Every structure is written in C-alpha cells, then in structure tokens.
Structure 1
Amino acid sequence: MPGCNIFSREHQMLLIHFFGTVSASDLERQAISVFSNPDFSESTKELLSFAEVEAFAEDVDIKRFAEIVKINKGHVERFPDIKIAIIATDPSTISLARIYKEHVDTHDRKGEMEIFTSRHEAVTWLGGKADQWDLLLDRVSKMCEL
C-alpha cells in the first residue's frame, strides 16, 4: 500500500506519508484511518506528505477525490482547530493539495492549512521539534516498507 500513517500520542503529532503510485483507494484508506484514530485531539499537528509520490493512478479523478474529501470533512468538522501542513513537490501533487485546501477553507474553522514544497518549511511552520518529526519519518518509512 503506497500510503501509511503514524501517530505520536505523546507529542500529538500525525504523519501521513504517500509514496510511489497512489490510487484513490490508498487516499481513502488513509482518510478513514486518520478519522477513526481515537487518540486524535484538537492539539494534534498533522503533516501530510506527497513528497515521494511518483504518480496518481487513473482512478484519482475529480469525482472520486470529491468522495474522499467528504470523509475528511468529518475530520475537519470534528477537529476545527488542527493545524495541517501538506508537502507537495510536483505539479500533480500541488494541484491535488490545492483542491483539498480550497475545500477545507470553505469550512468554518480556526485551524490553519498550508502547502509547502520542502519538509523543513512544513515542519518549521507546523511546530514541534524537528527531531520528533525526523523520528516519525524514520518510523513511517520502516512501516511502509513492510
């Protein structure tokens, strides 16, 4: 599965990592997994990385993406104060991130969401210690390989 996530309950940090060729089902599974996490709270910082995505499968179209965004709508409404950083490094991932951000920005929420092209910028903006994010990145890379 070209997507996985890891959560640090202690630091209230969530990393969602996509890589390779990502299908609509991969995006949907991660949305459901994040939404159903019982440890998630208003103080959670979320880092969504598309930095290692090589391509999106043909089933990632506007109609299917809209269905996935509806799943995330519940997450955003339940936690309106969360801060989300998205790492997107090429035109296709940047476009997808912008569509998601535009949809989320239509909700009445206090939390912030920004799109970045580098992990350093995203982590700096998001907050938390860089070494804590590095630990999560290391752990998620190992988990995704399994």
Structure 2
Amino acid sequence: MKTAICYYSRHHGNTRKVLEAMAGEGDIDLIDVTTRQVVRLEAYDCIGFASGIYGFEFHKGVVSFARQYLPEGKPVFFVYTYGGARGNGAKTMEALAREKGCLVLGEFSCKGYDTFGPFKLVGGLSKGHPDAQDLEDARRFYRDLVKRFSGGAQA
C-alpha cells in the first residue's frame, strides 16, 4: 500500500520520530507540510496526517494543507503526539476528511516530550517520549492498518 503521511514536526521532533518508525513498515513517503512542494496525493492508496497537538488541536499548517491537497474519497488516518493532554486530538481533521468523503481508517497517538511555555520552567512534560514502546506501538498501528485496508476496509 503506497502511503503519504503529511506532517508538521518541530520543537523536539516527537512526531517525526513516530513517523520514521512507521516508515520502516512499508512504502511510505513523509511529506513535510512546511516545504511548499508540489504535491499529488491522488497517486497514493492511503494518506496520513500527523502533528503534535498545539493549543489542543492539530497544527494549523497540517489542517490547511489537508484542505488544499486532500483528494475526495481517499482513505485517511491520523497520527499525533502530545505533552500533557490530547486536547481534541484529530477531531478537526476527521471532520475535514468526512467533508471530502474520505474513509477514516483510524488514529495513533502517544506522549511526546513537551517544553512549550510554562512547561519549560519545570523541565518539560513526558520526558523520554516517544520511547521504544511508543515507537513499537506506532509500527504495530501501521501494520494493522495495512492489514485492515488490504482485507476489505477500503470503501
């Protein structure tokens, strides 16, 4: 299954670490939404969107990228990391996908080291994350997603 994962990952690179673990499990192209490249997502079987949680939501750059480039009817999934609270997780992204008639295959989330704002004063939250178990869970999530998708989850 040829997969694109469109992502934003800064600060400690938590989300990128998770995506690199997933990328070892299949034919995955990682697309940084900040690079302003020409993107043709129609060529992919499945599309993922990934971000840390910023202000309780996916990064606005990922949401904007999805609005512009997500083709109608493509199967999608979501990946996110968070320091203390998941916030709304992928709710905004799920709504956007449904507006475009996309089948939502699932979501993966895990803690990520967070030193934003006041958390820096206390040495950060979720130190050491994503850890080895988080990365193995991410790999398993993608392997299971491929099995479900190949086994008839396709709309």
State whether TM-score is above 0.5: no
Which band: TM-score by shorter chain? 0.3 to 0.5
Please identify the structure whose Cα radius of gyration is greater.
Answer: 2
TM-score, L = length of structure 1: 0.44
- Structure showing the higher helix proportion among its residues: 1
TM-score, L = length of structure 2: 0.42
